Amino acid sequence: MNDPYEILGISKNANETEIKKAFRNLAIKHHPDRGGDAEKFKEINEAYQILSDPQKRKTYDQFGKSAFEQGGGNGFSGFNGSQGFSGFNMDFDFGDGDFSDIFSSIFESFGGRRSSSRSSENLDITIKTEISIEESLTGVSKNFELNRKVRCEKCGGTGSKDGRIDICGSCRGTGQVSENRRTPFGIFKTIGVCKNCGGTGKIIKNKCSECSGTGVKRKIEKISVNIPAGISDGEGIRLKGKGDAGKTKTGDLIIYISVLEREDFFRKDDDLVMKVEIPYSKFLLGGKIKVETPTETLEVKVPENSKVGDVLKIPGKGFEKNFGRRGDLLIQINLKIAKSLSYEQKKLIEELEKLGM
């Protein structure tokens, strides 16, 4: 396969309109019905199929042509180059495309996992949740209430009341119908979803009363999720099979984590920064102070002659990293100023002032 950008003669930054325009022009020029080269036309169509689909374009930009080649590990759907013209799903509607499952594709393209069925249904459920910075340090268990589609128990997901499922007569069970479409560029044979069966290839005579023949039904489900220690803001957790049930598979639940930081308690890479206030005398004389972390109370030694803003490093008390390693705790010491002074304190400070301190 050649570079789809090169085939359409456009730049890597071409926008949707430019892609459509380039394709339209080339399709008219090379259409076989108008004496064009069939191979060339096929190539143009393949290039357009990739670049007109945001997901596929993204995948191409990331992984190159190997992600699309026949027999490639990704098994990307949508191309049936060996079938000749009738196999193409020519889309001259130039619609906006389906953006609904861009999210799932980001995950899926990394895993190289893509279902081979040309299904655009997005079965993943995405939710967001906030946790405190303390919870991100220790890990936390959170409860969620999901409204998800699950397999109908009454019919076992078949959608049929009596188990009788017939093969659709219109498409002979394929779920697809081909028709000749007249377009400004000539007549195209197009493949569409069978309207009679909705693309399933099956006809259910007596529909299950519980799920109206869909085989799935909505259910409120409580779920408890362990959010691991060390998770950072913007990271997500994927729970396989906890998304919506579909015709052939069940999606995943993706939980995006937002960590609420505090001004005196925040994350810096894998280190935990804590700001603490200590009295003036400790800066000068040094000594031990107590620092309360979310998990323990630490006794920390402040060196003599410390300065405001100095950082005391406690190794291995920060956020969890991979392989059981942890970042450090960085304690920033600041001056604690008394709100009011007793007579005795005032006297002593006045003495200090006389000594030039």
List of residues contacting Zn ion (CB under 5 A): 152, 154-155, 168, 170-171, 194, 196-197, 208, 210-211
Instruction: Considering the complex, state which of residue 245 and residue 278 has its C-beta at the smaller distance from Zn ion.
Output: 245
Token pair for residue 357? 């301190």
User: For residues 66 and 238, what is the distance between their CA atoms, to the nearest angstrom?
Assistant: 26
State how beta strands 216-227 and 236-239 pair.
unpaired
Least separation in angstroms between residue 153's CB and Zn ion is: 8
DSSP state of 106: H
Match 């196999």 to its residue by tokens: 87
User: For residues 39 and 92, what is the distance between their CA atoms, to the nearest angstrom?
Assistant: 19
Instruction: Considering the complex, state which of residue 246 and residue 327 has its C-beta at the smaller distance from Zn ion.
Output: 246
User: For residues 326 and 263, what is the distance between their CA atoms, to the nearest angstrom?
Assistant: 22
Least separation in angstroms between residue 210's CB and Zn ion is: 4
Amino acid at the residue 335: L
Instruction: Considering the complex, state which of residue 197 and residue 254 has its C-beta at the smaller distance from Zn ion.
Output: 197
Instruction: Considering the complex, state which of residue 131 and residue 155 has its C-beta at the smaller distance from Zn ion.
Output: 155
Least separation in angstroms between residue 81's CB and Zn ion is: 25
DSSP string covering 29-55: HH-GGGT--HHHHHHHHHHHHHHTSHH
Q: Check if the beta carbon of residue 237 is closer than 8 Å to that of residue 254.
A: yes
Least separation in angstroms between residue 259's CB and Zn ion is: 41
Instruction: Considering the complex, state which of residue 208 and residue 333 has its C-beta at the smaller distance from Zn ion.
Output: 208
Least separation in angstroms between residue 189's CB and Zn ion is: 18
Q: How far apart are the first and last CA of the chain?
A: 79
Instruction: Considering the complex, state which of residue 197 and residue 276 has its C-beta at the smaller distance from Zn ion.
Output: 197
Least separation in angstroms between residue 190's CB and Zn ion is: 16
